[in-house]
Structure 1
Amino acid sequence: MATPRTDPAKAPSAPARTAAGYHHGDLRAALLAAAELELAEKGVDGFTLRGCARRAGVSHAAPAHHFKDVRALLTALAAIGFARLSASMADCAEGIPPGGIDYIVAIGRGYVRFAVDNPHLYNLIFRSALLDCDDPVHGAAGDSAFAYPVRAVGAYRGSDDPMSDPQLAVEVVGIWSMVHGLAGLLIDGQFSKHTGKTQQQLADELAPALTRQFMEGPAKRPDPAGEPRC
């Protein structure tokens, strides 16, 4: 008896096989997206490869084809975090010419806005003990982010290499330390509970004010008595 012919258009297609099992499209991208959700929900301490695989809808063994361990996955996620930090600073500084105080203020605001908008990534990217800091992609992303305050201070002070000048290097590190500390306080809710304002509102108010004051110095208050102040 002749075997019935099946219309190819109606025949079920077999799932494509990959090294990780059945085809999942871009597995690496799916794992990174799942990893970010896992990190946002559970934090670094509760982060696991199994949890990421479960969110991505793949087997527990699948992540090993792209990330050898949880450290490798967190490192890739941290590189994404640094890239978003750079993008946030660039967005805030768009249209502002380098060389003026407004450009530095915009960089500081972009830094803090990234942190309050992405607290899970902000709390990861500087956790060096959990990351492979020798990874070239992670290293390049971190260097690119750090270059923003370096270039901003350099342009303001007329230096192509501010980190080679001890005084200017202090300014760069000072700006970075200030916005980094402010970001941490905002994420922890230290100001919102006293002001009733959102983290985003406080970031937009405090980051520019503190950055400007750091670079220009505190505003001088007139002495009512007209006498020198100690």
Structure 2
Amino acid sequence: MSHGNVKYMAKKSDKKKSAVKKEYHHGDLKRTLMLAASELLEELGYEKFTLRKCAARAGVSPSAPAHHFKDANGLLNSLAVEGFQSLSSKLRVTFLNSPKDTANPCSAVAVEYLRFAKNNPALYKVMFGSRLNADNPELKSASEACFENLYLSVSEMFPGKNKEDLNAISLRMWSSVHGLSMLVVEGRLNFLIGKDGFKNLSSLESAWLNIQGF
């Protein structure tokens, strides 16, 4: 009986290994791991994320992620790259679809940036987290391209400005909206709700945007 169980377990293990190999062969393993990582980050948070937990969530062996990622930080780097690419695209599309004759032409872009952070809090923390390799070529390219896309929109908002001014406006916009976004996703502004006329988080955000001139 025991030999039969061993034989059955061996077959079951072989099937699992075969499934992992199939995923890897077809290029699905990387995507599966990234989706599993996204779920875990939402559930456990940035600090408690490990590659072993990610492999378990994806239903693969602990060694399987090594096909694509050297370590947990490597996987987080890949998520951050996709995050910057998505943010960049959303900001550009928002600008192109927004009215340009308003008093605050940057407002729609700032609101979209804040929306992205609130809709993807775990990913947003990863994108600006300390566990990333800042020298990673893909990550540098994606984050810099995001700024360049913002700069492009700003240059179209203010066609009469020189390059130095446009860089300054873009930097001010990104740094200030990023600061608010991080405070919001970390829950650091909840103490202001119900005080000083802030009925909810939306009214706080609107007041901040008006003060900033966005």
Gapped regions of structure 2 (runs ≥ 5): 1-13
Give the residue type in structure 1 aligned to 2:192.
Answer: H
Give the residue type in structure 1 aligned to 2:139.
Answer: H
Match of 2:106 in 1: 104
Match of 1:130 in 2: 131
Q: Among the aligned pairs, what percent are the same residue?
A: 33
So what's the TM-score if we normalise by structure 2? 0.75
Match of 2:159 in 1: 158
Kindly state the Cα deviation for residue 133 of structure 1 after the two structures are TM-superposed: 2.7
More helix by share: 2
Q: Give the direction of change, closer, same or farther, for the CA distance of 1:44–1:27 in structure 2 (3 Å limit).
A: same
Give the aligned CA root-mean-square deviation in angstroms.
3.0
Whether the aligned pair in 1 keeps the contact of 2:92 and 2:150 (CA below 8 Å) is: no
Match of 1:187 in 2: 185
Could you list the per-position Cα deviations for residues 110-147 of structure 1 after superposition, in whole angstroms to 9, with x for gaps in the alignment? 111111111111111122x4222333322222122112
Larger Rg: 1
The 2-side partners of 1:95 and 1:21 are apart by 43
Whether the aligned pair in 2 keeps the contact of 1:78 and 1:124 (CA below 8 Å) is: yes
The 2-side partners of 1:157 and 1:94 are apart by 14
The 2-side partners of 1:70 and 1:98 are apart by 43
The 2-side partners of 1:114 and 1:207 are apart by 17
The 1-side partners of 2:90 and 2:204 are apart by 13
So what's the TM-score if we normalise by structure 1? 0.71
Kindly state the Cα deviation for residue 190 of structure 1 after the two structures are TM-superposed: 4.2
Give the residue type in structure 2 aligned to 1:145.
Answer: C
Q: Give the direction of change, closer, same or farther, for the CA distance of 1:37–1:27 in structure 2 (3 Å limit).
A: same
Could you list the per-position Cα deviations for residues 157-194 of structure 1 after superposition, in whole angstroms to 9, with x for gaps in the alignment? 3268x5x41x4332221111210111122223344453
Match of 1:43 in 2: 45
Q: How many residue pairs were aligned?
A: 194
